[in-house]
Amino acid sequence: MTLDSHIHARILIACKDQPGIVAKISTTLFSLGANITESAQHTTNPLEGTFFMRIAFYIPRIESVKEVIQDAFAPLIKQFSMQFQLFLEEERKRFAIFVSREDHCLLELLWRQRSGEIQADISMIVSNHPNHEQIAQQMNVPYYYIPVTPEKKLQSERQQLQLLVGKVDFIVLARYMQILSPQMVEQFPRRMINIHHSFLPAFVGAKPYERAYERGVKIIGATAHYVTADLDAGPIIEQDVLRIDHGYSVKEMKAVGRQIERTVLARAVRWHVEDRILVHDNKTIVFT
Amino acid sequence: MTLDSHIHARILIACKDQPGIVAKISTTLFSLGANITESAQHTTNPLEGTFFMRIAFYIPRIESVKEVIQDAFAPLIKQFSMQFQLFLEEERKRFAIFVSREDHCLLELLWRQRSGEIQADISMIVSNHPNHEQIAQQMNVPYYYIPVTPEKKLQSERQQLQLLVGKVDFIVLARYMQILSPQMVEQFPRRMINIHHSFLPAFVGAKPYERAYERGVKIIGATAHYVTADLDAGPIIEQDVLRIDHGYSVKEMKAVGRQIERTVLARAVRWHVEDRILVHDNKTIVFT
Amino acid sequence: MTLDSHIHARILIACKDQPGIVAKISTTLFSLGANITESAQHTTNPLEGTFFMRIAFYIPRIESVKEVIQDAFAPLIKQFSMQFQLFLEEERKRFAIFVSREDHCLLELLWRQRSGEIQADISMIVSNHPNHEQIAQQMNVPYYYIPVTPEKKLQSERQQLQLLVGKVDFIVLARYMQILSPQMVEQFPRRMINIHHSFLPAFVGAKPYERAYERGVKIIGATAHYVTADLDAGPIIEQDVLRIDHGYSVKEMKAVGRQIERTVLARAVRWHVEDRILVHDNKTIVFT
Amino acid sequence: MTLDSHIHARILIACKDQPGIVAKISTTLFSLGANITESAQHTTNPLEGTFFMRIAFYIPRIESVKEVIQDAFAPLIKQFSMQFQLFLEEERKRFAIFVSREDHCLLELLWRQRSGEIQADISMIVSNHPNHEQIAQQMNVPYYYIPVTPEKKLQSERQQLQLLVGKVDFIVLARYMQILSPQMVEQFPRRMINIHHSFLPAFVGAKPYERAYERGVKIIGATAHYVTADLDAGPIIEQDVLRIDHGYSVKEMKAVGRQIERTVLARAVRWHVEDRILVHDNKTIVFT
C-alpha cells in the first residue's frame, strides 16, 4: 500500500442502534478493499439508543471513488435510515476566521495551520477591527475589515455573507466579540465554532472573567462550542481549565485565560477538520 | 529549640492596608522570641486595599501564652483596627460530620483524620440515615441518627443544635442532602463547610450531575464552600475538576465525581483546621 | 432484553493486522445474537502492525455459553492466528492484596470494592506486618500475617503461594515493600499489579520521594504497572501526577503522593478487572 | 501614589535563617517609604535552614534610588551575611533566543513578549539554521545564522559570545539542539534557560519522545531548567505534563509535546524576568 495509490477517507454514521450494524458496515468496507486505520463508535443507550460511528480508512485510488463508496453503502443507508457522511482527506476544508481586537486565538490558528496540525485552508480573516492586517499579509491570507455598529449590523453581516458564500466550509469565531444574528447563524449549522472565555454553563454572556473574579472561583476555563441561536448554549466541543487563586486580578485571569482559550479552540477546530465530531441532542460525540 | 519547650501558634490578621504593617507585626513577633515558620500575605488592591496575613511560628512555652501574645499585639490591633485571630496548634479543633446516604466523603474524612492529615477531632457524626452506624462504631465516633422530614425539619435542627452546642468548633456537610434553615446556618458563620457536587457557579442546587449530563459538558467538578443563607452561594474554598467525554452516563459521572468530591472536601477541611482561610467580600483568601 | 435472560461478556483479541478482521468478528457476534455495548480497537502500525480489539456485549443466556462462543470463533482464531480471551462478567475475578506498613492503598481498594466500583472479590490480605488485621476483620477478609526477613524470604514466598494457589486470579501489591523473587513473579505473568510511588521511569527503586526532593522536581507522580522480573520495568498501566513546589518537605510530598498512589492503583485494578488491558512489547493497550 | 512618582522595585535575599530577619527587612523598607505589593519567603529547614525572600514594592522616585536602597540595607547585608539582589522594573532585561529547526518555542516567546506578558527585550535570535530569518524580520529582531559543526563548534561559540557580550542579560535555549561547551555555559551561570522535551529526570539526553514511546509511558512532559555543565541536570524551574495513551505515535507525541514545551518555557522565562527564581543546592525556589 502506498499513499499515491490509495486515498484516505472517513465516514460518519448515525442511526437507531440495532444488532448487526457494525457487521454490515465493516463487511461493506472490506468488500471495497478498505484498510481501516481508526474506528470508534458510541451508543447513547443500551436499549433503543442512537448509534454513532466514525471510521477512517485507506481505499485504493479509483475513478469516482466517492460515488463508488456511496453506492456500496446505499442499501445500508436505506435499511438502517442512516445519516451518512463521507469525507476524503485530500479534499481539504476551507474556513474563515472571525476576530475582534484580541489576537491570541487568531495567532494560534494561523500557527497551527502553518505547522500542519490543522489540515485545512484559511480562506480569509474577517474582523471588525483593522489591526490584524499586517499579520494576515505576512501569512498571505486575505483580510477583510468590516466595521460593525448596532445600527448597520445586518448590513455588515450581508457583506460578510457575500465574502463567505462558496468560499468556506466552516467559520471560526476566534474571540469575535459581536453577537451574530440568528439569520447569520442559520447559514452555518454545526459549522460555526465559537470560543467562550468561561467554563460553560458558568458565566454565559459578557465579561466572564470579571464575573469569575467577583464570584471568587478557584478555577477558570474556556469552552469551544458550535454556535446556535441561543447565546453560548450550543453543543460543547471542548473545555479546559486552569487553577487560579485569590491573588489573581481580573487582568491576570485574562492573561492565563488566553492560554486556555487558544488551546481549547485549536483542539476543537482540529477535531472539526478531521471529522471527529457528531452532534446529537445539542451535545457532541467527539471521537478523538 | 525543641517541641517540648515551644508552642506552635498561628495568627490571622485583616485590616486596611498601609505602609509599615509588616514591619510592626514582625517586630512584635521578634520581641516575643518567635521563630516564624510560615508567612503569607495578600492585599486586595495596591491602593486602599485590604491587607491579610497569616503567620505560623514557634514561641517559647510560657504561662498564659495566649494572653502574652494578645497583649503584645494589642497596640497594633488598635492602631490598625485589625481583625486579629490567634490559634495554638495544640488546642485541637473539634468538628461534626453531617452526612446522608452516600458515605464516600465521610470515609475520606475519617481516614484522613486517622492518618493525621487532618489534625482535629471528630466529635460526632450526624445523619438523617441510620446506615453509617457501624463504621462510626469502628472509628469510635458517636453517631446520631436524626431523621429529617419536611414537617419536622426545625425540630430536627433543634435536636442537632443541642448535640452540637459546646462540642464542636465547626461542621462539615459531607454530602448532607438536607437544606439547613437560615437560623441553623447563622449559628456557624464561616464555620460550616459544604461540598457541592458541581463546579460552581455552574449547576447550583439539586441534581448537578444530571444537569451536567444534559448540557453535555466535557469536564465535571466539585466545590467546597462555606455555607451561607444563599444556596450554594457562599465563599468558595476549593474546586477541582475531571475530564469526561460523551461516553459517560450519569451513573459513571457520579462515580468519578465522588473522587473529586472527597478530595476537594478533604483539602478544604484541612485548610480550615490549619487556619489557612480568610473570608472577604464573600470570597476566600487561602494561604496554602 | 433483560439482564436475567442475557449474559454480559467480553472478548479480547490480538493478531496480525489484515483487512476483514473486524468484518469477520462482528459478523460472528451478530450470528450469536450478541448486542455490542462497547467496542475498541488499536493497530500498532498502519502497515504490518498488530491488531488489538476489546468487545463487550450482551448475549442470550444459554447452556454452555462459553463453549458456544468459543466454537463460533474457532475458525477465525485459526485463520488469523488470534490470541483470543473470553470473559463473563458474572464470573467474578478474585484477588489478593499484598501490603506492608502503609494502609492508604489497601483502604482505597477495600472501599472501592465495597462500593461496587471494583467488581471483583478480595480473597485475602497478605502482609509482612500484623497491623491491618482489625480492618481486615471489619471487612470480613481473611488476613495472613507472614513476616519476611532476608534469610527466610523464599520460605515466606512458599507460604504465600500455598495460600494463593487456586484462590486468586491476580495479585495487587498495594505498597508491599518487599521485592519478590523472579520465581514468585513468574507465577502471575500479567496478573500482578504494583503501585510505584514515582513517575516511572524516573526514580526507579527505593526512596523515590527522597530522590524527587533531592532533584527538585516540580511534579511528583505514581505509576501502576504489571510486575516483571526487572524491578519497576514492567508494562505501565496508568500514571498520574500532582504539582508540588519548593515548599514541600519529603514528608509533605509523601502525604500528597499517597493521594495519587491510591487513585492510580484503583484505576489500574478496575481496568484489569474489566479486562480492559492488553500487553504488547512490554507496553499496555488500555481500552477505557 | 502614582506610577510616575514611584518606581517598582524587587529585592531577592538569601541568608542563614535566624529570628528577626523579616522584622529588620520590613522595618528598613518602611523607613524608605516603600509600599510592599508582593512578599514571599521560604526557609529550607525550621532549624539552621537557609532563608529566602522576595519583596516587590513601590518606592518614591528619587535620584540614585538603587544606591539609596543599597545603602539602607548595607548594615543588614553585613549583619546577616545576606546575598542581596536589587532590581528595578523599569530597567528591562534583555535576552537572546537560541533556536534550531523547530520554531514553536521561538514563536511563543516572540508572541508573549509582544503581548506584554514577558516584560523584557529580545536582543537577538541566534540559530544554526537559516530558516527563521523572515519571522525575525517581521518582529524586528536581529537574526544571526551561525552554522555549527562538530569540528568548528568552539569557533561558532566564540562568534556567538562576541554577539552576546554586553548585549544580553540572559539566554533562552528555545529548542536549540546543540550541546554547549562548559566554557560557554560558565559565561551565563543561572542565566541560561533550556527547555528539555521530557519530564526530567526521566529521559535525560537525546530523543526523549522516542524513548517515552518505547517505555510506554501514559504521561509526557517538558522541563525548563537552568543550564549547568551537566547535561539536563541543572536546577529545574518548571515542569508540566499531558496525558497520552497507547494510540499516540512518536509523531503525535511530539505534536502534543510541543504545546507543553512552549507553555513551560514561557512560564520559566517570565518568572526569570520578574526575578521570581532563587537557586539553592541545585534546586529552585520559585516565588509565584
Cα–Cα distance for residue pair C207/C215, rounded to 1 Å: 13
The nearest CA of chain C is from the CA of A22 a distance in Å of: 6
Neighbouring residues of A166: CB distance < 8 A, sequence distance ≥ 6: none
The per-residue pLDDT for D78 is: 97
Taken as a whole, chain C contains a residue count of 288
Question: Stretch B216-222: mean pLDDT, rounded?
Answer: 98
> Which among B23, B43, B47 has the least Cβ separation from residue D23?
B23
For the domain D94-286, what is the CATH superfamily, name and number? Answer: Formyl transferase, N-terminal domain (3.40.50.170)
Concatenating the DSSP letter of every residue in C89-148 gives: TTS--EEEEEE-S--HHHHHHHHHHHTTSS-SEEEEEEESSSTTHHHHHHTT--EEE---
CA distance A46 to chain C (A): 7
Contact C199 D201 (CB under 8 A): no
Residue A278 pLDDT greater than 70, yes or no: yes
Q: Kindly give the parts of chain C with pLDDT less than 50.
A: none
Is D46 in contact with B30 (Cβ distance < 8 A)?
A: no
Domain with CATH 3.30.70.260 in chain C: 6-88
Q: Is the pLDDT of residue D4 over 90?
A: no
pLDDT (tens digit per residue) in B10-41: 999 999 998 899 999 999 999 999 988 899 99
* Window A:87-116, CB contacts with D under 8 Å: 104, 107, 111, 115
Q: Which positions of A are catalytic?
A: 232
Q: How far apart are CA C93 and CA C89, in angstroms?
A: 9
Answer yes or no: is pLDDT of D287 > 80. yes
User: CB of B29 within 8 A of CB of B65?
Assistant: no
Mean pLDDT, all residues of chain B: 95
Q: Do B117 and C263 lie within an 8 Å CB cutoff? A: no
Question: pLDDT at residue A178 above 70?
Answer: yes
pLDDT interval class at A1 (50, 70, 90): low
pLDDT digits (tens, 9 = 90+) for B182-191: 999 999 999 9
The reported pLDDT for the residue numbered A48 is 84
Is-catalytic flag, C230? no
D62 has a pLDDT exceeding 80: yes
Query: Average pLDDT of A226-232?
Result: 95
Query: How many contacts, defined by CB atoms under 8 Å, are there between B and D?
Result: 49
Chain C residues close to A23, C-beta within 8 Å: 23, 26-27, 29-30
Q: Does D147 touch chain B (CB under 8 A)?
A: no
Closest CB to B107 among C111, C117, C259: C111
Q: Is B33 on the interface with D (CB under 8 A)?
A: yes
Name the catalytic one among C232, C240, C245, C275: C232
Q: What are phi and psi of A236, to 5 degrees?
A: -80, 130
Question: Is B104 in contact with C115 (Cβ distance < 8 A)?
Answer: yes
Indicate whether D3 pLDDT > 60.
no
Q: What pLDDT, on the 0 to 100 scale, is given for residue C142?
A: 98
Which regions of chain D carry the CATH code 3.40.50.170?
A: 94-286
pLDDT computed for residue C5 by the predictor:
87
**pLDDT reported for residue D47:** 77
Q: Does domain B6-88 correspond to CATH entry 1.10.8.80? A: no
How many inter-chain contacts (A to D, CB under 8 Å) are there? Answer: 11
Contacts of D96 by beta carbon, 8 Å cutoff, 6+ apart: D122, D123, D124, D125, D126, D163, D164, D167, D168, D171, D172
Say what the pLDDT of residue C4 is. 73
Active site residues of D: 232
Q: Are A27 and C23 in contact (CB < 8 Å)?
A: yes
CA distance D158 to chain A (A): 33
Interface with C, mutate which of D51, D214, D246 (most C CBs under 10 A):
D246
Is C133 touching B (CB cutoff 8 A)?
Answer: no
Q: Which amino acid, residue D118?
A: I
- Compare all CA atoms of chain D with the CA of B40 and give the residue at the minimum distance: D40
**Cβ–Cβ gap D19/B27 under 8 Å:** no
Interface check for A215 against chain B (CB to CB < 8 A): the answer is yes
pLDDT digits over C133-177, tens only?
Answer: 999 999 999 999 999 999 999 999 999 999 999 999 999 999 999
Render pLDDT for D238-248 as a digit per residue (tens, 0 to 9).
Answer: 999 999 999 99
Residues of A in contact with C33 (CB under 8 A): 19
Q: What angle do CA A280, A282, A285 make, to 5 degrees?
A: 45
C253 touches chain A (CB under 8 A): no
Residue from the list A42, A219, A284 with its beta carbon closest to the beta carbon of B239:
A219
Residues 152-181 of A with CB under 8 A from B: none
- Nearest Cα of chain A lies from the Cα of D248 at a distance, in angstroms, of 11
Mean pLDDT of D64-74: 97
Per-residue model confidence as pLDDT tens digits over B111-160: 999 999 999 999 999 999 999 999 999 999 999 999 999 999 999 999 99
Q: Do B199 and A200 count as a contact with CB atoms less than 8 A apart?
A: no
Run of H or E including B88? strand B83-88
Smallest CA–CA distance, residue A271 to chain C, in Å, is 19
Pick the closest to residue C244 from C200, C268, C209, C204 (CA basis): C209
C228 and D CB contact within 8 Å? no
Burial group, residue C130, by CB count within 10 angstroms (0-12, 13-18, 19+): exposed
pLDDT in tens, B85-110: 999 999 999 999 999 999 999 999 99
pLDDT score of C46: 74
Chain D: give the shortest CA distance to residue B39, in Å: 7
pLDDT of amino acid B102: 96
pLDDT in the model for residue B162: 97
ipTM: 0.94
* Residue in the structure block whose three cell numbers are 504539582: C243
> For D270-281, how does the pLDDT look when each residue is reduced to its tens digit (9 = 90+)?
999 999 999 999
What confidence score (pLDDT) does residue B28 get? Answer: 97
* Helix C208-215, helix C250-273: angle, nearest 10: 130
Task: Evaluate whether B227 touches B193 at the Cβ level (below 8 Å).
Answer: yes
Q: What is the 3-state secondary structure (H, E, C) of chain A?
A: CCCCCEEEEEEEEEEECCCCHHHHHHHHHHHCCCEEEEEEEEECCCCCCEEEEEEEEEEECCCCHHHHHHHHHHHHHHHCCCEEEEEECCCCCEEEEEECCCCHHHHHHHHHHHCCCCCCEEEEEEECCCCCHHHHHHCCCCEEECCCCCCCHHHHHHHHHHHHCCCCCEEEECCCCCCCCHHHHHCCCCCEEEEECCCCCCCCCCCHHHHHHHHCCCEEEEEEEECCCCCCCCCEEEEEEEECCCCCCHHHHHHHHHHHHHHHHHHHHHHHHCCCEEEECCEEEECC
Q: How far apart are CA C1 and CA A19, in angstroms?
A: 12
Contact flag C22-A41 (C-beta cutoff 8 Å): no
Burial C68-93, CB ≥16 within 10 A → b, else e:
ebeeebeebeeebebebebbeeeeeb
- Which tens digits make up the pLDDT trace of D166-212? 999 999 999 999 999 999 999 999 999 999 999 999 999 999 999 99
pLDDT greater than 70 at residue A3: no
SS3 D249: coil
Q: Identify the closest residue of chain D to C248 by CA–CA distance.
A: D44
pLDDT tens track for A4-17: 789 999 999 999 99
The answer, yes or no, to whether residue B1 has pLDDT greater than 60, is no
- State phi, psi for A209 to the nearest 5 degrees: -65, -40
